Amino acid sequence: MTINESIKTTNVKFSDLGLIEPLLRALRDEKYEHPTPIQAQAIPHLIADRDLLGCAQTGTGKTAAFALPMLQKLANSPKAPKRGTPRALILTPTRELADQIGRSFMSYGRHLRVSHTVVYGGVSMGPQARALSRGVDILVATPGRLMDHMRQKLVFLDKLEVFVLDEADRMLDMGFVTDVKKIIAFLPKQRQTLFFSATMPTAAAQLSAALLTDPVQVKVNPTSSTAEKVEQRVMFVRRENKEALLLSLLQDSAINKALIFTRTKHRANHLAEKLNKSMVRAEAIHGNKSQGARNQALRNFSMGKSRVLVATDVASRGIDIKDISHVINFEMPNDTESYVHRIGRTARAGTSGIALSFCDGEERSILRDIERTIRTQITVDAEHPFHVAHTGHAAPHKPKGFGGGGGGGNFPRRNNFRPRGRNDRFGGRPTERSAS
Tell me 7's DSSP state.
S
> Which CATH number among 3.20.20.10, 3.40.1780.10, 3.40.640.10, 3.40.50.300 corresponds to the domain 230-380?
3.40.50.300
> Which CATH number among 3.40.50.170, 3.40.50.300, 3.40.50.1220, 3.40.47.10 corresponds to the domain 2-220?
3.40.50.300
> Reduced to 3 states, what is the DSSP secondary structure of residue 1?
coil
- In sign, the C-alpha dihedral spanning 119, 124, 127, 132 is positive
Residue 230 is predicted with a pLDDT of 86
Residue 221 is predicted with a pLDDT of 58
Residue 398 is predicted with a pLDDT of 42
Residue 319 is predicted with a pLDDT of 66
Task: Identify whether the C-beta of residue 259 lies closer than 8 Å to the C-beta of residue 327.
Answer: yes
Calpha distance 91→146 (Å, rounded): 9
DSSP string over 256-325: -SEEEE-SSHHHHHHHHHHHHHTT--EEEE-TTS-HHHHHHHHHHHHTTS-SEEEE-GGGSSS---TT--
> Reduced to 3 states, what is the DSSP secondary structure of residue 258?
strand
Q: Which residues pair with 164 in a beta bridge?
A: 90, 194
Residue 129 is predicted with a pLDDT of 96
Residue 337 is predicted with a pLDDT of 73
Q: Which pTM does this prediction carry?
A: 0.63
Domain range summary for the chain, segments of one domain joined by + = 2-220, 230-380
Residue 4 is predicted with a pLDDT of 46
pLDDT tens per residue, the chain (436 residues)? Answer: 544 443 344 588 999 999 999 999 999 998 898 998 999 999 999 999 999 999 887 667 899 999 999 999 999 999 999 999 999 999 999 888 899 899 999 999 999 999 999 999 988 999 999 999 999 999 999 999 999 999 999 999 999 999 999 999 888 878 899 999 999 999 999 999 999 998 888 889 999 999 999 999 998 755 445 556 789 999 999 999 999 999 999 999 889 999 999 999 999 999 999 999 999 999 999 878 887 788 889 889 989 999 999 999 876 555 668 789 999 999 999 877 788 888 888 876 566 789 999 999 999 999 998 888 888 899 999 999 999 985 443 334 443 333 333 333 333 334 333 444 333 333 433 333 446 5
Calpha distance 53→42 (Å, rounded): 10
Task: Identify whether the C-beta of residue 60 lies closer than 8 Å to the C-beta of residue 220.
Answer: yes
Q: Which residues pair with 191 in a beta bridge?
A: none
Same fold, 2-220 and 230-380: yes
